[in-house]
Amino acid sequence: MSIETDWTGAVNRYAPTECAKINLYSTELASGLTLGQLTIAVCIRSAAAYENQSVLKMNTMTSGSVLLEDAAYWLQKIADGSANWTSARDFLMNRLGISSNELPDNLDTFDKRMQAASALKNKMDTLAQSQQEDMIDLQTLVNRRDVAYSTSSNVVRTLGTSMSGNAQNFLG
């Protein structure tokens, strides 16, 4: 028997896809542990899982930030007319996933540059929104990790107080 979480429901959006279940603590390994020790172990394993998910979320956010920086570079180049359209179009279609239907064939007129800039700006808005959602997700993960550590700390404090009380009672 083991204590597991399958990260279902609201938590699912934070869980990395490669670990649908996390074994928080196996009772086969728990023989001889007190309930307090088992609780601490579960809290620490849970906190570690949240920490791993936080690192994955930060990596996702880093790659998203780099993509936004690259998009801002190309937006400036397109707006001022200095963009190599072949390179810019390749970036817009292959890295950002903008459909060729949204992009002009060339940038030889102001209206075509504005069409390309508008498509890029819309994609950048979507990316920025995703970055904001990722930041909220990261804050949630960090808060959950902190709660797990806090719970573990409270259990240790309670066990210490209980043991101290028992020792005082024993000594009279």
Measured in degrees and rounded to the nearest 5, phi and psi for residue 26 equal -90, 130
**pLDDT reported for residue 137:** 92
pLDDT of 127 above 80? yes
Boundaries of domain holding 38: 2-171
Look at the block and give the residue holding tokens 């979507």. 126
| Percent of the chain with pLDDT strictly greater than 70 | 81
β partners of residue 2: 26
Contact 130, 113 (CB under 8 A): no
The pTM (predicted TM-score) of the whole model is: 0.69
Query: Over the chain, what is the mean pLDDT?
Result: 82
CA–CA gap between residue 140 and residue 11 (Å, rounded): 10
Q: What is the pLDDT of residues 44-68, one digit of tens each?
A: 888 888 999 999 999 999 999 999 9
Expressed in percent and rounded to 5, the helix, strand and coil fractions of the chain are 75, 5, 20
How many folded domains does the chain comprise? 1
Element housing 25 (H / E):
strand 22-26
And the tokens for 94?
């292959």
Half-sphere exposure of 49 (CA within 13 A, CB side): 26
